[in-house]
C-alpha cells in the first residue's frame, strides 16, 4: 500500500477498507507515515466524510495504537463521562464526586483546554499540589479506596489520537464528525469504563453549531460505544453561552465549590443533577432528582471532592482561597431589559487572552484570571446592575473592555435558555 494512493482514494470520495484504515493509523502511530500526509488525509476526510463503517474502523484502529486499561479489579459498574468541549465547563469537578457519593465508582481520565475551550486537568491543577499524573496502579487503587479519581490521560493510551488531535488542531480539521467521534470514542473505549456519558455541546462555543450536527455525532458515538459493549448515552447540551457563572481555572473551581455547598446558580445546579441521574442510571442506580440534589448541596459531594483532592496531593487550605488576580474590573449594564445573548465563543476567547486558556499547546496558563458573570441569558437587568467581574493581571485597555461590553447583548424580551436539549440513547 502507498499512503498517497489512499489519500487520493479518499480525496475522490471513495471508501477506505478496514485494512487500509488499519494500515494508515498504525503507520502514523509508529512514525512511518509523516504528518504532512496525515494532514492531507484529514483534509480529504473533512471534505468527503466517512461512512459509519469507516468511522468504526478508524476508532478501533486508534484504540489499538496504545494500551487499554483494565478496570476489572474495581468492583461495580465503572462510569466515565466526556464533553466535546465548552466554555466554563466545570461539570466534571462536580458531577464526578456527586456520582461517586452514591458508591458508583468514577475512574476518569481528562484532558487539557485549547483555544476558547477549557479542560478539566487545567482546573484541577489550579488547586495547589494537585497531581494529575498517576500510574495506572495508583489510579485503580484510588478508585478502589475512595471511589473516585480524575487524572490526565496516560501517554500509553491511544497514541494515534494524541498525534492526530495535535495535527488537526493546526490544520483546521477538528470540527468534523467522523474525526471527533473516533477521537472521543477511542479514548473512552481504551480508558476501560463500563458506562459512558457523552456531553455533546452545541452552539456558538462548541464544535457542533447545529442541533442536527450534534444529533448525528451523538448517534454515531452512542452506537460505537454500544457495539463494544459499553452502556453509552449522549446528552446534547447548550453551549451558546458559557456554562454557569465562571470562566477561568481557579474561578471555576470556586464556582464548583459553591455549587457543592448549595450556593450556586439554580440552572447549573439542576443541570448537574440531571446529568448525575443519567450517569447513575447507566450504572444501574435509579435515584430521584430530589435525592441527588440533596447529596449535591448538603456537603456529601463536596466531602467526596475534598477526599479526592487530598488523595491526589492537593492542599485543602488553598482550595477555598479567592482568585489572586491583580486587577478586578466590574462591568455594568448600560440599559434596562434582559440578557439576550452572551456568545460563548467570544467570552471563551476573551478569557483565553487574559491567560485563562492557551492559544497553542505550549502557552503557559494564568490560573487566577477569567470572568465571573452575575447575569446570564434570560436574567432581567436594570441600568447600572453589575453584569460581570473580569479578573486579570494587568489593567484592561479600553478597547478590550469595549469589546467585552459589546458582546453582552441586551434585549427587551426575555429569552429562555435551557441546558439539556436532547438525550440520545
Ligand atoms: N474532543 C476530543 O476528545 N476529540 C475531538 O476531536 C474533539 C473534542
* Of the candidates 159, 178, 187, the residue with the CA atom closest to the CA atom of residue 217: 178
Q: Which of 78, 90, 159, 187 is catalytic?
A: 187
**Which pLDDT score, from 0 to 100, does residue 149 have?**
97
**Which pLDDT score, from 0 to 100, does residue 413 have?**
95
Rounded Cα gap, residues 83 and 111, in angstroms = 10
Angle between helices 266-282 and 289-297 in degrees, nearest 10: 120
Q: Which of 114, 168, 174 to mutate to test the pocket of ligand 1 (most atoms within 8 A of CB)?
A: 174
183 carries an active-site annotation: yes
Whether 80 contacts 188, CB under 8 Å:
yes
Whether 94 contacts 256, CB under 8 Å:
yes
Using the mean position of ligand 1's atoms as its centre, give its distance from the Cα of residue 119 in Å.
Answer: 11
User: Mind listing the pLDDT tens digit of every residue in the chain (425 residues)?
Assistant: 999 999 999 999 999 999 999 999 999 999 999 999 999 999 999 999 999 999 999 999 999 999 999 999 999 999 999 999 899 999 999 999 999 999 999 999 998 887 888 899 999 999 999 999 999 999 999 999 999 999 998 888 999 999 998 899 889 999 999 999 999 999 999 999 999 999 999 998 899 999 999 999 999 999 999 999 999 999 999 999 999 999 999 999 999 999 999 999 999 999 999 999 999 999 999 999 999 999 999 999 999 999 999 999 999 999 999 999 999 999 999 999 999 999 999 999 999 999 999 888 788 899 999 999 999 999 999 999 999 999 999 999 999 999 999 999 999 999 988 899 999 99
Nearest CA to ligand 1 atom 7: 180
**Ligand 1 atom nearest to 184, measured from its CA:** 3
Nearest CA to ligand 1 atom 8: 84
**Which pLDDT score, from 0 to 100, does residue 363 have?**
86
Q: Which of 83, 183, 220 to mutate to test the pocket of ligand 1 (most atoms within 8 A of CB)?
A: 183
**Burial environment of residue 1 by CB neighbours within 10 A (0 to 12, 13 to 18, 19 or more):** exposed
Using the mean position of ligand 1's atoms as its centre, give its distance from the Cα of residue 168 in Å.
Answer: 10
* Of the candidates 113, 388, 115, the residue with the CA atom closest to the CA atom of residue 249: 113
List all residues whose CB is within 6 A of at least one atom of ligand 1.
Answer: 84-85, 165, 174, 179-180, 183-184, 207
Grid cell in block for residue 267: 440552572
Rounded Cα gap, residues 355 and 248, in angstroms = 9
Rounded Cα gap, residues 70 and 107, in angstroms = 11
Nearest CA to ligand 1 atom 1: 84
Grid cell in block for residue 108: 476518569
CB count within 10 Å of CB 14 equals: 11
Helix (H) or strand (E) holding 412: none
* Cα 130 → chain centroid: 19
* Of the candidates 243, 95, 113, 244, the residue with the CA atom closest to the CA atom of residue 169: 113
Whether 349 contacts 228, CB under 8 Å:
no
CB count within 10 Å of CB 306 equals: 17
169 carries an active-site annotation: no
Q: Which of 168, 188, 245, 250 is catalytic?
A: 168
337 strand-pairing partners: 381
**Ligand 1 atom nearest to 165, measured from its CA:** 6
Grid cell in block for residue 419: 441546558
358 carries an active-site annotation: no
DSSP labels, 16-77: PPHHHHHHHHHHHHTTSS-HHHHHHHHHHHHHH---HHHHHHHHHHHHTTS-----TTS-S-
**Ligand 1 atom nearest to 180, measured from its CA:** 6
Whether 61 contacts 183, CB under 8 Å:
no
Rounded Cα gap, residues 353 and 358, in angstroms = 8
Using the mean position of ligand 1's atoms as its centre, give its distance from the Cα of residue 76 in Å.
Answer: 28
Q: Which of 58, 109, 184 to mutate to test the pocket of ligand 1 (most atoms within 8 A of CB)?
A: 184
187 carries an active-site annotation: yes
**Which pLDDT score, from 0 to 100, does residue 113 have?**
84
Q: Which of 149, 154, 182, 183 is catalytic?
A: 183
139 strand-pairing partners: none
Using the mean position of ligand 1's atoms as its centre, give its distance from the Cα of residue 218 in Å.
Answer: 13
161 carries an active-site annotation: yes
The structure's pTM equals 0.94
Using the mean position of ligand 1's atoms as its centre, give its distance from the Cα of residue 411 in Å.
Answer: 34
**Ligand 1 atom nearest to 85, measured from its CA:** 8
- Which 3 state secondary structure label does DSSP give 332? strand
Amino acid at each position: 500500500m502507498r499512503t498517497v494512493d489512499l489519500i487520493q482514494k479518499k480525496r475522490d470520495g471513495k471508501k477506505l477498507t478496514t485494512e487500509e484504515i488499519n494500515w494508515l493509523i498504525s503507520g502514523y502511530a509508529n512514525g512511518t507515515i509523516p504528518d504532512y500526509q496525515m494532514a492531507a488525509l484529514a483534509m480529504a476526510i473533512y471534505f468527503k466524510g466517512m461512512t459509519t463503517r469507516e468511522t468504526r474502523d478508524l476508532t478501533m484502529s486508534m484504540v489499538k495504537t496504545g494500551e487499554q486499561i483494565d478496570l476489572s479489579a474495581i468492583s461495580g459498574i465503572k462510569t466515565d463521562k466526556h464533553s466535546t468541549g465548552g466554555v466554563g465547563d466545570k461539570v466534571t469537578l462536580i458531577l464526578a464526586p456527586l456520582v461517586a457519593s452514591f458508591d458508583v465508582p468514577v475512574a476518569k481520565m481528562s484532558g487539557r483546554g485549547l483555544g476558547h475551550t477549557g479542560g478539566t486537568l487545567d482546573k484541577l491543577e489550579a488547586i495547589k499540589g494537585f497531581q494529575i499524573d498517576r500510574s495506572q496502579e495508583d489510579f485503580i487503587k484510588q478508585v478502589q479506596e475512595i471511589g473516585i479519581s480524575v487524572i490526565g490521560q496516560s501517554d500509553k493510551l491511544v497514541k494515534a489520537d494524541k498525534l492526530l488531535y495535535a495535527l488537526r488542531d493546526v490544520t483546521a480539521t477538528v470540527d468534523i464528525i467522523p474525526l471527533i467521534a473516533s477521537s472521543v470514542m477511542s479514548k473512552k473505549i481504551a480508558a476501560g469504563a463500563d458506562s459512558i456519558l457523552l456531553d455533546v455541546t452545541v452552539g456558538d462555543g462548541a464544535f457542533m453549531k447545529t442541533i442536527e450536527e450534534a444529533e448525528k455525532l451523538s448517534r454515531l458515538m452512542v452506537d460505537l460505544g454500544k457495539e463494544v459493549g459499553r452502556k453509552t448515552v449522549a446528552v446534547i447540551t447548550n453551549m451558546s453561552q458559557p456554562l454557569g457563572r465562571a470562566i477561568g481555572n481557579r474561578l471555576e473551581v470556586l464556582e464548583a465549590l459553591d455549587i457543592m455547598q448549595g450556593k450556586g446558580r439554580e440552572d447549573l445546579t439542576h443541570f448537574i443533577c440531571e446529568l448525575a441521574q443519567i450517569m447513575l442510571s447507566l450504572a444501574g442506580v435509579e435515584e430521584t432528582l430530589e435525592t441527588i440534589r440533596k447529596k449535591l448541596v448538603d456537603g456529601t459531594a463536596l466531602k467526596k471532592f475534598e477526599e479526592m483532592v487530598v488523595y491526589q496531593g492537593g492542599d485543602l487550605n488553598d482550595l477555598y482561597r479567592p482568585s489572586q488576580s491583580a486587577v478586578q474590573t466590574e462591568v455594568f449594564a448600560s440599559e434596562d431589559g434582559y440578557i439576550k445573548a452572551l456568545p460563548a465563543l467570544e467570552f471563551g476567547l476573551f478569557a483565553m487572552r487574559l491567560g485563562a486558556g492557551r492559544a497553542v499547546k505550549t502557552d503557559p496558563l494564568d490560573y487566577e484570571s477569567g470572568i465571573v458573570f452575575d447575569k446570564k441569558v434570560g436574567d432581567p437587568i436594570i441600568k447600572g446592575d453589575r453584569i460581570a467581574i473580569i479578573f486579570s493581571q494587568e489593567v484592561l485597555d479600553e478597547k478590550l473592555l469595549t469589546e467585552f461590553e459589546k458582546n453582552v447583548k441586551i434585549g427587551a424580551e426575555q429569552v429562555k435558555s435551557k441546558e439539556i436539549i436532547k438525550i440520545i440513547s
